Amino acid sequence: MILTSVKLKNFRCHKDISLSFSENLNYIVGGNGQGKTAILESIYYLCTTKSHNTNSDIEVLKFGENVFEIFGSFKNLVNDEVRVIYSSEENKKRYLQNGKHKHRLSEVIGNYPIVLLTPVDHSITFGYPGDRRKFFDSIYCQASAAYLGLLVDYNRTIRQRTSLLYSIRENRNKNFSELDAWTQKLLETGAELINYRKNFFSEFELFVKQAHSEILNGNENPGLTYFYLSGYDGKDIKDRFAELLEAKREDELRRCACLVGPHKDDFIFDINGINLKTFGSQGQHKTFQVALRFAEFFYLKEKTGKAPIFLLDDVFGELDTARSVRISENLRRVGQTFITLTDFTDISYLHKRSTDTVIKLMDGIVTYA
C-alpha cells in the first residue's frame, strides 16, 4: 500500500500545500520550524484518525483558523481517498474513506498500518517499564485481537480490585471473600496475559536481532529479556503468581494498590550481555530504538500481511555516517518510507536514487529535488 499524495489545509504551519510522494524513500528536508514533522503527523492522521503527539485536535489547527483538512490518496489494489476534517467551532472531526463517513476507530485501525520512529522513542530504552510495556502492547495488540481483549479485561480487573482495596481500607467494606474473588480473577487473567507475552516476546526477539545485525553488520549482539513475577523459577506461573499475591497481601491492603502482576512487567535490553539502559551510549540507544521499530515493521508485515508505511522523524541526528547509510539502505527493502532531515547537504552520503523523492520545505513553499 502506497500513499501517493497529501494535501493539507490549515494544518500546523501549513496554510495550503500539496505533496506527491515516491513509492520508495521520501526525504522531507527543511530548517527548524518549517513543518517537517507536521507532514509526518498528517500521514499519521490519515492512517489512524489521530495525532501521534497530542490528544487534542485543536493544537494541530493553524493559529487563527477554524477548520483544518487533510486529504490523502492511497494506491493499493484499488485506490482509496481519505479525508480528515476538523472544525474547532463544532469541535468535531470527520474521517471519510472514499466519501464514506467512518464513525469508529476500529473501522479504520489496521486498514493502513503505520510504524513511526520519533525522538520520543528515547523513552523505550531510557524510560520506565511502563513505556516499554506500552510499546510492546501496542505492537502485539495490532497482531492479536485475542491479546487486545485480554489486556482490556486485565486492566479493568486492576481498576476494580484497586477500588475494592480502597473501600476495604476506608472500612466501607470488610468482605475479604469479595477480595479473594477479584484476586482469583486477577490471577487467571494475569497468568494468561503472561503466557501470551512470553510467546510474543520469544518470537519478536528474533526480529530485533535480525534488524539490529542488518543495521550494524553484526558487531553487536542485542538481547531482550522479559521479566515477570519476581523470583519466578520455571515452575507453574499461576503458583508463583499466587505466592506473590499472598506475600504482598498486607502491603496491598495498606497501600491500596495491586502490586503484583503483568502490569508490573519489565523488559530489559542488553548489548553483548551488558545492560543497555545503564551502560549504553547515546548512539547504541538510538540504534536499538531503530532496530525495535524495524522489528515492529517486519513483525506486523508478517502477521497482518500488509506492509506498513514507515515514518522516521529525525533519526540520523545521533548516529554516525556508517550507521545512517546502513539504515537508509535497509529502508529500501522496506517499502514506502518518509524521513525528515534538518540539513539539505546532509543527504549526500545517503546515495539518493532516482526513484526517491526529496521534498524541500521553505516558508510554506514546496520544491522537489
Partner 1 sequence: MQIAEPLQIAIEELSKLPSIGRKTAQRLAIHLLKSDIDAVEKLLSAIQNLKTKLRFCNRCFNISTEDLCDICSNHKRDHSLICVVEEASDVIAVEKSNEYHGSYHVLAGVLSPLSGVGPESLHIKELLKRFETEEIQEIILALNPDTEGEATSLYLAKLIKPLGVKVSRIARGLPIGGDLEFADEATIGRAVLGRITL
Q: Which residues bind partner 1 (CB under 8 A)?
A: 144-146, 149-150, 153, 156-157, 159-161, 163-164, 167, 173, 175, 177-178, 180-182, 184-185, 188
**165's grid cell:** 482495596
Of the pair 116, 165, the CB lying nearest partner 1 is at 165
Of the pair 76, 163, the CB lying nearest partner 1 is at 163
Q: Give me the least distance between CB of 142 and partner 1, in Å please.
A: 12
Rounded to the nearest 5°, which phi and psi values hold at 368? -105, 140
Q: Which of 100, 35, 94 is nearest to 70 (CA)?
A: 94
Q: Which of 367, 362, 364, 369 is nearest to 30 (CA)?
A: 362
Q: Give me the least distance between CB of 185 and partner 1, in Å please.
A: 4
CA–CA distance, 191 with 196 (Å, rounded to integer): 9
Of the pair 177, 354, the CB lying nearest partner 1 is at 177
Of the pair 164, 295, the CB lying nearest partner 1 is at 164
Of the pair 157, 284, the CB lying nearest partner 1 is at 157
Helical (H) or strand (E) element with 210:
helix 176-216
Of the pair 13, 141, the CB lying nearest partner 1 is at 141
Of the pair 164, 334, the CB lying nearest partner 1 is at 164
Q: Give me the least distance between CB of 170 and partner 1, in Å please.
A: 12
Q: What are the CA-CA distances from residue 50 to residues 15, 53, 105, 160 (Å)?
A: 19, 9, 10, 29
CA–CA distance, 241 with 148 (Å, rounded to integer): 21
Of the pair 177, 345, the CB lying nearest partner 1 is at 177
Q: Give me the least distance between CB of 303 and partner 1, in Å please.
A: 12
Q: Give me the least distance between CB of 181 and partner 1, in Å please.
A: 3
Q: Give me the least distance between CB of 133 and partner 1, in Å please.
A: 19
* Measured CA angle at 201 (ends 200, 202), to 5 deg: 100
What residues have CB less than 8 Å from 219, skipping those under 6 apart? none
**Side-chain half-sphere of 369: how many Cα atoms within 13 Å?**
13
Q: Give me the least distance between CB of 280 and partner 1, in Å please.
A: 37
CA–CA distance, 181 with 55 (Å, rounded to integer): 36
CA–CA distance, 214 with 87 (Å, rounded to integer): 45
Rounded to the nearest 5°, which phi and psi values hold at 311? -110, 130
Of the pair 156, 353, the CB lying nearest partner 1 is at 156
What residues have CB less than 8 Å from 121, skipping those under 6 apart? 289, 292, 293
CA–CA distance, 48 with 334 (Å, rounded to integer): 20
DSSP 61: B
Q: Give me the least distance between CB of 166 and partner 1, in Å please.
A: 8
Q: Give me the least distance between CB of 306 and partner 1, in Å please.
A: 16
Q: What are the CA-CA distances from residue 48 to residues 41, 102, 334, 351, 358 (Å)?
A: 10, 12, 20, 32, 25
